[in-house]
Amino acid sequence: MRSTRATAALSRLNVRCPDQHYTLSSTATGLFFLSRQTEAGEEQVCAGMPLDEFVAFVNGLGPQTVRRVTRNDAAFEKQLVRKPRT
């Protein structure tokens, strides 16, 4: 199902923002939009977007998690740097 990526992005957003609750809706044309639950009701956060744009938008919202880098990861990334040709 195509919406799996969208629901995974939404669940990560709800974990990053525990004080707010976001919901996902999709249209018959395959567009996705995000809504936030407020005391006054449901507030639409964005207009309908295709899947890739929607996932990028949702991943950019809220506080970002810091990527954990181990010593092995850092050493591997250091080895990936190309040496200049002489």
Span 10-56, pLDDT tens digits: 999 889 888 888 999 888 888 998 998 888 888 888 888 998 898 99
Residues in the chain: 86
Q: Is residue 75 part of a domain?
A: yes
Could you tell me if residue 52 is inside a domain?
yes
Could you tell me if residue 85 is inside a domain? Answer: no
- The reported pLDDT for the residue numbered 5 is 87
| First-to-final CA distance of the chain | 51
Asked whether residue 86 is domain-assigned, the answer is no
Which tokens go with 27?
Answer: 């249209």
Is residue 37 a part of any domain in this protein?
Answer: yes
Whether residue 1 has pLDDT greater than 60 = no
pTM assigned to the model? 0.68
50 assigned to some structural domain: yes
Which amino acid would we find at residue 10? L
d(CA 37, CA 35): 7
Q: Which two tokens mark 18?
A: 């525990």
Domain count along the chain: 1
In a domain? residue 49: yes
Higher pLDDT, 3 or 31: 31
Domain-located, residue 84: no
Tell me which residue range forms the domain holding 12: 4-79
Instruction: Residue 61: count other Cβ atoms within 10 Å of its Cβ.
Output: 18
pLDDT of residue 32: 92
- Position 6 pLDDT exceeds 60: yes
